[in-house]
Amino acid sequence: MAYAKTPEDLAFYESLGPDSKPMRSKPEISEEAMMWHEAFAQLSASRPAGFSGALPIPITEVDAYCRITGVAPREQPAFLRMIRRLDAGYLELATRKPVALKQPEGD
């Protein structure tokens, strides 16, 4: 079973209680994954927007983040690669066409 895909799903699953099947299947998130999430979230806030929507995070922002947060110079190429992979996934999701919701019959 897939875990919550939206905040509304998560709120519903949490309302069922900690012993419910969805909450028992809740994924554990490692500290490393949380570190990447935090870095990506901070960098994503510096992302420029274009006429077609979100644009990639500029490399200059990644460089500034590395300097400010103290990412070791030898670790910066791997850091950049990971942020670019996360960013590519984000941009792929951000550029998908929304699915049209059907209007209930009788309205």
Return per-residue pLDDT of the chain as tens, 107 residues.
456 667 777 778 778 887 877 777 777 778 888 899 999 999 999 999 888 888 999 999 999 999 999 999 999 999 999 999 999 999 998 887 766 666 666 65
pTM of the complete model: 0.66
pLDDT digits (tens, 9 = 90+) for 67-76: 999 999 999 9
Q: Per the domain annotation, does 99 fall within a domain?
A: no
Domain count along the chain: 1
Question: Which structural domain range is residue 77 located in?
Answer: 29-94
Q: With respect to residue 69, please indicate whether it lies within any of the assigned structural domains.
A: yes
SS3 10: helix
User: 5: which 2 tokens?
Assistant: 């895909």
How many residues appear in the chain? 107
Per-position b or e across 56-95, b if 16+ CB within 10 A of its CB:
ebeeebbeebbeeeebeeeeeeebbeebeebbeebeeeee
Q: 23 in a domain, yes or no?
A: no
